[in-house]
Amino acid sequence: MATPSLAVEPASPFRVSGVVGNLLRATSRNRKAMAGTVLLLLFLVLAVFPGQIAPDDPSAEIFMPGLGPSAHHLLGTTAYGQDIFSQLIWGTRLSIIIAFAAGGLATALAVLIGVSAAYLGGIADGILSLITDVILVIPIFPLVIVIAAYRKNAGLFTLIVVLGALGWSYGARQLRSQTLSMRTRDFLESARVRGERKLYVILFEIMPTMTSLIVASFLGAALYAVLTAAGLQFIGLGDPNSQSWGTMLYWAENNEALGAGMPLWAIAPGVCVALLGAAFALLNYAFDEISNPALRPSRRRRREELPE
């Protein structure tokens, strides 16, 4: 029984099981990934335990309106007498939910459509690619506005569905390309020859090898969801009574916060949207870098590469 053959750039042995181990190790090595992870974790904590951190009820209009930052109100109060800091903390939850849910929905659709199109080929591929291209080309934001405007005061559910249903096309393209490049891999032919069904091959043979790409796709979709949702809420298409950064911006804008001496009311949620977006973007870049080695085609005496 031999030791593994020479690898010029050897793979590290993992203690944790394959896929998860790959991801953890890759994350800890990459500076962008670390930064993005820290940021994201921060927001996740805020989203899960808002009550522990925020001092006040965000919607309670009990304070003096228009106060500047102070020990009591770290970011001051709104024109309605609400604590801005509490609003900010509580608003995290909704933004995170939208990011993950809409991002998740978009990714699920991207995977389903992209991988199936490439694997099924022929007419199925033709039709799915056509649909993908059409949605890719249509400017999303105006379309989202139109749809959201149809359902006035779009609730959370509508928002998620609309964002998810329109945000999958870019990822679908990428996943389709990646799947196409994998069609010649022998292990897929091997699976077919031993009698696996096509659906099995797509779900259990192809997809597990693309986890990096799928995660990267999800991060991109989440980023898109955060920014677009904030934008929609800002122009008033969200539920104005909900607690989110976008609605904060909406109300701040309505009351001309920047000009009327309450700049933090607008700046704070804006910065948060940007930071959460940055977290996803950093992780996205990092995962692109990680998943690239997997895209290299196999050569005869190639180095042993990580699949992720």
Residues near another protein, by CB under 8 A: 1-13, 18-19, 29, 184-187, 189-196, 205, 208-209, 211, 298-302, 304-307
Which residue type, as a one-letter code, is found at position 167? G
Closer residue to another protein (CB): 196 or 253:
196
Please state the closest distance from residue 114 (CB atom) to another protein, in A.
18
Rg (CA), the chain: 23
Closer residue to another protein (CB): 2 or 71:
2
- DSSP for 204-265 reads IIIGGGGHHHHHHHHHHHHHHHHHHHHHHHHTT-B-TTS-SHHHHHHHHHHTTTTTTT-HHH
Helix (H) and strand (E) counts in the chain: 13, 0
Please list, in sequence order, all residues whose beta carbon lies within 8 angstroms of the beta carbon of residue 224, skipping any fewer than 6 positions away: 103, 106, 163, 167
Please state the closest distance from residue 186 (CB atom) to another protein, in A.
4
State how far Cα 8 lies from the chain centre.
35
Cα–Cα distance measured from residue 234 to residue 248, given in angstroms and rounded to the nearest whole number: 8
Please state the closest distance from residue 5 (CB atom) to another protein, in A.
3
Closer residue to another protein (CB): 122 or 139:
122
Distances (CA, A) of 149 to 215, 235, 254, 275: 31, 10, 19, 27
Are the C-beta atoms of residues 99 and 222 closer than 8 Å to each other? yes
Looking up tokens 């950064």 gives 245
Please state the closest distance from residue 243 (CB atom) to another protein, in A.
41
Closer residue to another protein (CB): 153 or 181:
181
Closer residue to another protein (CB): 51 or 208:
208
Please state the closest distance from residue 209 (CB atom) to another protein, in A.
5
Please state the closest distance from residue 107 (CB atom) to another protein, in A.
18
Closer residue to another protein (CB): 14 or 80:
14
